[in-house]
Amino acid sequence: MSLPLDHIVIAVHDLHSAIHDYRNLGFTVTPGGDHPGRATHNALVVFQDGSYFELIAWKAPEDAHPWWPKLSRFGPGIVDFALLPGTTPQVVAQALARGLAYQPPVDGGRLRPDGVELRWQNARPATPDLPFLCGDVTPRALRVPEGPVREHANGVQGVAQLRVAVHDLAATLERYRTLLGLEDVPAPAKGATSLQLGRTVLKLETASASAEAAQRLASQGEGPFAIGLHTTQAHPLGLVLHGHTHGARLELIALPGALASTAPRPHAQSVFA
């Protein structure tokens, strides 16, 4: 089953500040609008590969929202990620038939600044090591803009890698095998393994795999904690200052062949929140 990465959610305290900072980092940021019936509004950083960052903030506390408690307790940062199903009910039904629990699909929507209303259906997993599903009811192009908004001055083309901290790698791998309908999955090595989600590598890491995964598990539990971005430029974010990514750890990875004409440089560099 093909379930590519749809988007990564970055919760922030102040949306206007986050938009300003991400634009200063060389990203093209598109205002997303308000979520009817919710206290949230968002902005999008859409990439050439079709995935995007959702920068989301609250106009008022919302304890019933799955991400508000994370923001209020742990501060801004990566809080979740979604895969793109053909239709959400179909994927949920297939998962349930294989013994994997997902909550029933829930209708959602957003009112864009230009007055266009778009709709989708989300379904959340029973465990935090898995992504939620976000399937469009209205055309995806209404939710995820196309064209020049996907071009970024810093050369970022898309999400190369998403790192997720997990406690029990064998159990998590079995859940992903079931969700994705895979016959088998890669064998773990040194407390980690990787799965391919479309053009994005999903790296599952236990506490023994990296200090970053261990810190995430100790402080917040399971979930996504770092993003690798494909870039065509050698030093797009070399002067990033502490705090300008609003809690999101970003790692810049050379797009294969893109930097062949530049002088030798490290393959990747980290940008810390």
Tens digit of pLDDT for each residue in 16-30? 999 999 999 999 999
pTM: 0.92
Instruction: Give the lowest-confidence range in 96-100, 155-159, 194-198, 240-244.
Output: 240-244
For residue 137, CA distances in Å to 104, 113, 119, 144 come to 16, 19, 5, 13
Structure confidence at residue 254 (pLDDT):
79
Ranges of each domain in the chain: 5-148, 152-271
Cα–Cα distance measured from residue 130 to residue 225, given in angstroms and rounded to the nearest whole number: 13
The two tokens of residue 190 are 């040194």
Same fold, 5-148 and 152-271: no
Instruction: Mention the CATH class of domain 152-271.
Output: mainly beta
Q: How does DSSP assign 158-187, residue by residue?
A: EEEEEEEE-S-HHHHHHHHHHHHT-S--PP
Tens digit of pLDDT for each residue in 62-89? 999 999 999 999 999 999 999 999 999 9
- Give the neighbor-by-neighbor strand order of the sheet with 250-254: 192-197, 200-205, 156-165, 223-231, 250-254, 268-271
Structure confidence at residue 234 (pLDDT):
66
Just give the CATH number of 5-148: 3.10.180.10
Cα–Cα distance measured from residue 244 to residue 237, given in angstroms and rounded to the nearest whole number: 11
Structure confidence at residue 257 (pLDDT):
63
Structure confidence at residue 259 (pLDDT):
45
Structure confidence at residue 134 (pLDDT):
98
**Helix %, strand %, coil % of the chain (to 5):** 20, 35, 45
With 70 as the cut, is the pLDDT of residue 55 above it?
Answer: yes
Structure confidence at residue 235 (pLDDT):
61
Tens digit of pLDDT for each residue in 92-140? 999 999 999 999 999 999 999 999 999 999 999 999 999 999 999 999 9
